[in-house]
Amino acid sequence: MTTTISSKGQITVPVEIREALGLEPGTRIEIRMGSSGTFVATKAKETSFFAKFKGAADNRKAPYADSVEAMDLLRGKVPTGDVD
C-alpha cells in the first residue's frame, strides 16, 4: 500500500489498516523509527489523567518504613509502659 504526505506533513492511513487496528478519527497513534529507514505505527495506549500520576508515586521510595516510624520522627518517641 502506498500513501502520500500532504503539504502539512499528514498522511492518510489506508482503510484496511484503520479497520484492522480500530482507528477512528481522533485516535492517537505512536510512530517509531525502525531499522533501515522504515517506521512502525501502532495505536497509542490510552492513559487516564490519574494514571500519569500513579506511576510517578509508585516509583518513589517512601521516606519512612511505616506510620509508627513517621510519628516517632515527627513528634518524638512516645514513652511506653505504665501510665499514671
Write down the pLDDT at residue 51: 65
Q: Which amino acid is at 15?
A: V
Q: How far apart are CA 12 and CA 5, in angstroms?
A: 8
Residues 27, 42: contact at Cβ < 8 Å?
A: no
Lowest mean pLDDT among 23-27, 38-42, 50-54: 50-54
Closest CA to 21 of 38, 41, 1, 46: 41
Rg of the chain taking only CA atoms, in angstroms? 27
Residues 75, 64: contact at Cβ < 8 Å?
A: no
User: pLDDT by residue (tens digit) across 52-82?
Assistant: 666 655 556 666 677 787 778 778 776 776 6
User: pLDDT by residue (tens digit) across 4-21?
Assistant: 899 999 989 899 988 988
Locus of grid cell 505504665: 82
Is pTM beyond 0.75? Reply is no
**Domain range list for the chain:** 15-75
